[in-house]
């Protein structure tokens, strides 16, 4: 991490990282997740597709000698695939010690959403894409959709992969 910049040093402190969210957008919706999961933001490198996986797992990328799987968040949310462009980003996050790249349309900014501005999502059935969302956060006049990163990789996926013939 960049230690020459003072602001980073402060952010490294766990307490001040609380309530900070990284915002990105897909189509015209704004999503956010807790910044403490984020390790790095990358321009989209070459992706090596892995045959036989779920479509939203796009494949793997090389990040300075480390091989990291990437997921297309758009496909994960059952939205239509859009070709990647120069603003397409990979957000490197770490979940349970495993790095994962999230492909998103556009990264916006880091905002502070204090706990009192977070409303937990009402449980409306078992809707497929709502399971990734745990609440909404009010920031000024806008509302960010808060993502539960852990849920992006739940058990269902492994089942999904197993269902593919030949595996």
Partner 1 sequence: MEREDVLEYLVEAKESLENIESGLLNFEKTTLDGSLVDREILDTLFRHFHTIKGSSGFFGLSGIVKIAHAAENLLDYLRNKPSSQDEETLEILITALDLLNELVIHEEDSPTGGGLYSEEQNQFLQRSNDKLLELKNSEMDLSPNLETEPTKEEFGLFQKDEAKQSPNEEFGIFTNDVKQNVPEEFGLFQNDTNDSKNEEFGFFEPKQSDTNPEFGLFTANQVNVESKPTNSPTNNSKSKPEEKKSNQKKDIRIDTDKLDSLLDIVGEIVINEPMVTEHPDLKKLKLDNFHKSALQLKKLIRSLQEITLSLRMVPISGVFSRMERLVRDTAKKTGKQVELIISGEDTEIDKSIIEEMYDPLVHIIRNAIDHGLETPEERKEAGKQTKGTIHLTAVQSGKEVWIEVKDDGKGLQRDKIIRKAISLGLINHLEAENLKDEEVWDFLFHPGFSTAKEVTDLSGRGVGLDVVRKNVSTLKGFVDVSSNFGQGTVFLIRVPLTLAIIEGLVVRKSETYFILPSIDVKESLYIKEEPIHELYRNNHSILYRENQISIVDIDLLFGKESELNNHHSIQEKYMIVAESHENQMGIVFDEILGNQSIVIKPISPLFKNINGLAGCTILGNGHAGLILDVRKLINQHMAIQST
Q: Which residues bind partner 1 (CB under 8 A)?
A: 45-46, 48-53, 57, 59-62, 64-69, 98-100, 153, 158, 161-162, 164-167
Q: Is 147 helix (H, G, I), strand (E, B) or coil?
A: strand
Distance, in Å, from the CA atom of 24 to the CA atom of 41, rounded to the nearest integer, reads 11
**Minimum CB–partner distance for residue 156 and partner 1 (Å):** 12
Phi and psi, residue 46, nearest 5° = -65, 135
**Minimum CB–partner distance for residue 126 and partner 1 (Å):** 23
Distance, in Å, from the CA atom of 31 to the CA atom of 147, rounded to the nearest integer, reads 7
Q: Which is nearer to partner 1, 99 or 135 (CB)?
A: 99
Q: Which is nearer to partner 1, 113 or 152 (CB)?
A: 152
Q: Which is nearer to partner 1, 29 or 66 (CB)?
A: 66
Q: Which is nearer to partner 1, 67 or 120 (CB)?
A: 67
**Minimum CB–partner distance for residue 28 and partner 1 (Å):** 29
Distance, in Å, from the CA atom of 52 to the CA atom of 67, rounded to the nearest integer, reads 18
**Minimum CB–partner distance for residue 24 and partner 1 (Å):** 20
**DSSP of 40-99:** EEEE----B--TTS-TTEEEEEEETTEEEEEEEHHHHTTPPP----TT-EEEEEEETTEE
Q: Which is nearer to partner 1, 5 or 62 (CB)?
A: 62
**Minimum CB–partner distance for residue 98 and partner 1 (Å):** 6
């Amino acid at each position: 991490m960049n230690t020459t910049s003072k602001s980073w040093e402060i952010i490294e402190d766990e307490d001040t990282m609380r309530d900070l969210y990284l915002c990105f957008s897909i189509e015209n919706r704004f999503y956010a997740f807790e910044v403490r999961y984020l390790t790095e933001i990358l321009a989209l490198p070459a992706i090596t597709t892995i045959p036989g996986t779920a479509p939203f797992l796009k494949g793997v990328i090389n990040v300075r000698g480390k091989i990291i799987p990437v997921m297309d968040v758009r496909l994960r949310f059952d939205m239509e695939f859009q070709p990647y462009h120069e603003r397409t980003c990979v957000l490197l996050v770490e979940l349970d010690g495993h790095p994962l790249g999230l492909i998103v349309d556009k990264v916006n900014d880091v905002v502070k959403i204090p706990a009192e501005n977070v409303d937990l999502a009402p449980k409306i059935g078992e809707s497929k894409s709502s399971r990734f969302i745990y609440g909404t956060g009010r920031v000024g006049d806008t509302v960010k959709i808060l993502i539960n990163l852990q849920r992006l990789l739940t058990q269902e996926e492994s089942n999904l992969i197993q269902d593919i013939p030949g595996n």
